């Protein structure tokens, strides 16, 4: 049974990008997205426009995960064209490269550490810390982890968290965050002026709401689930955090395609250079990775994840407020 660095080394043969395959996924998804956006604007039937609007949201989510892989240099790392196109997509998706790359890399390096800066992830307090905190701090903490905050990730996680806050915190480093916000407003104004309020709703608001809500929940649930582990700095190890603090989100073929295999999150955290389309292969070929901590998109599983609020050091598990 391989562990630690030996297990990470076992994944290295899979961390190889197929340029043709990567471009196929990027371009095919982008073309489907363009066609779906066009359907929200020029479909003659309202029902057709609504279907296209919903599908647009799902395709934004898929392309976002592909963008996430490119930012990890898992795919198309040597292509300047891909870098340019993905930077443009990051702006359109309210996740500019400057803040996404820095915050997400920090997340990978510090995943599941207690008492560290929770940059790029949801904050974690211990039960004792929560009980000692003021009402104001408790409110802010619970607000950030509240189901409605996750549901409205479009506003809180992306427009504010990925655009406005980074820019005002460091305008020079994150100027592209302001550009993303202004481009989003410009698109909204253009859609409303030329196509009316229905186009604004169906082409921009609903798709982004869907993509951001699902994306925010996936990010939350894959590190906040029953059985997750958190560690003090002394007990933390990269490979242990990947396997014990990142879940395998079990889905069917449809959701696996929409989420670009991000459900194999324990493998992704073990080696972020593995292209998303190779993750299922790693799962089947490395025995040590076939028995991960598992969750799913079943409503009962979603509720179980959302109820978890603080880390109980004595019980060594996440607990809800009902356990107090």
Output the pLDDT for position 323: 72
Output the pLDDT for position 292: 92
Please tell me the total number of residues recorded for the chain in this structure. 324
Measured distance CA(232)–CA(253) in Å, rounded: 37
Average pLDDT, the chain: 94
Domain membership of residue 170 as a residue range: 4-323
Question: Which single residue is written with the structure tokens 């506003």?
Answer: 155
Q: Cβ contacts of residue 213 below 8 Å, gap of 6+? A: 150, 151, 152, 153, 154
Please count the structural domains in the chain: 1
Torsions phi, psi for 317 (to 5 deg): -160, 160
Q: Cβ contacts of residue 66 below 8 Å, gap of 6+? A: 25, 26, 29, 75, 260, 276
Output the pLDDT for position 119: 65
Torsions phi, psi for 8 (to 5 deg): -60, -45
Measured distance CA(143)–CA(150) in Å, rounded: 9
Q: Is the confidence at residue 11, as pLDDT, over 80? A: yes
The tokens describing 47, both together, are 């029902």
**What secondary structure, in 3-state letters, does 167-217 show?**
HHHCCCCCHHHHHHHHHHHHHHHHHHHHHCHHHHHHHHHHHHHHHHHHHHH
Q: What is the pLDDT of residues 218-261, one digit of tens each?
A: 999 999 999 999 988 778 889 989 999 999 999 999 999 999 99
Q: Is the confidence at residue 116, as pLDDT, over 70? A: no
Measured distance CA(25)–CA(10) in Å, rounded: 26
Strand partners, 248: 264, 294
Q: What is the pLDDT of residues 137-194, one digit of tens each?
A: 999 999 999 999 999 999 999 999 999 999 999 999 999 999 999 999 999 999 999 9
Question: Which single residue is written with the structure tokens 């603090």?
Answer: 245
CB 89, CB 63: distance < 8 Å: yes
Q: What is the pLDDT of residues 13-58, one digit of tens each?
A: 999 999 999 999 999 999 999 999 999 999 889 999 999 999 999 9
Output the pLDDT for position 96: 97
Q: Is the confidence at residue 117, as pLDDT, over 80? A: no
Q: Is the confidence at residue 94, as pLDDT, over 90? A: yes
Output the pLDDT for position 235: 80
Output the pLDDT for position 118: 67
**Closest to 126 in 3D by CA, of 304, 303, 309, 306:** 309
Q: What is the pLDDT of residues 62-81, one digit of tens each?
A: 999 999 999 999 999 999 99
């Amino acid at each position: 049974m391989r562990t630690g660095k030996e297990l990470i080394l076992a994944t290295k043969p899979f961390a190889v990008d197929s340029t043709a395959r990567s471009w196929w996924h990027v371009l095919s998804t982008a073309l489907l997205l363009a066609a779906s956006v066009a359907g929200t604007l020029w479909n003659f039937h309202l029902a057709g426009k609504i279907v296209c609007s919903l599908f647009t949201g799902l395709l934004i989510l898929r392309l976002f995960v592909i963008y996430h892989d490119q930012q990890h240099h898992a795919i198309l790392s040597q292509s300047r064209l891909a870098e340019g196109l993905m930077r443009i997509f990051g702006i359109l998706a309210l996740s500019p490269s400057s803040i996404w790359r820095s915050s997400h890399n920090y997340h990978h390096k510090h995943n599941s550490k207690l008492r560290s800066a929770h940059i790029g992830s949801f904050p974690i307090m211990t039960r004792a810390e929560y009980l000692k905190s003021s009402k104001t701090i408790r409110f802010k903490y619970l607000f950030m982890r509240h189901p409605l905050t996750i549901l409205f990730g479009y506003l809180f996680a992306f427009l504010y968290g990925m655009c406005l806050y980074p820019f005002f915190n460091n305008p020079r480093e994150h100027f592209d965050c302001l550009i993303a916000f202004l481009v989003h407003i410009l698109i909204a104004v253009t859609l409303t002026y030329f196509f009316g309020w229905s186009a604004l709703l169906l082409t921009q608001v609903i798709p982004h709401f869907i993509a951001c809500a699902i994306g925010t929940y996936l990010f939350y649930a894959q590190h906040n689930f029953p059985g997750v582990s958190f560690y003090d700095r002394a007990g933390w190890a990269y490979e242990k955090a990947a396997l014990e603090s990142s879940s395998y989100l079990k889905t069917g073929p449809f959701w696996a395609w929409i989420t670009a295999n991000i459900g194999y999150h324990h493998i992704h955290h073990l080696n972020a250079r593995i292209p998303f389309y190779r993750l299922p292969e790693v799962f089947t070929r490395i025995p040590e990775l076939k028995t991960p901590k598992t969750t799913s998109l079943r409503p009962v599983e979603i509720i179980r994840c959302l109820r978890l609020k603080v880390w109980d050091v004595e019980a060594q598990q996440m607990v809800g407020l009902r356990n107090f």
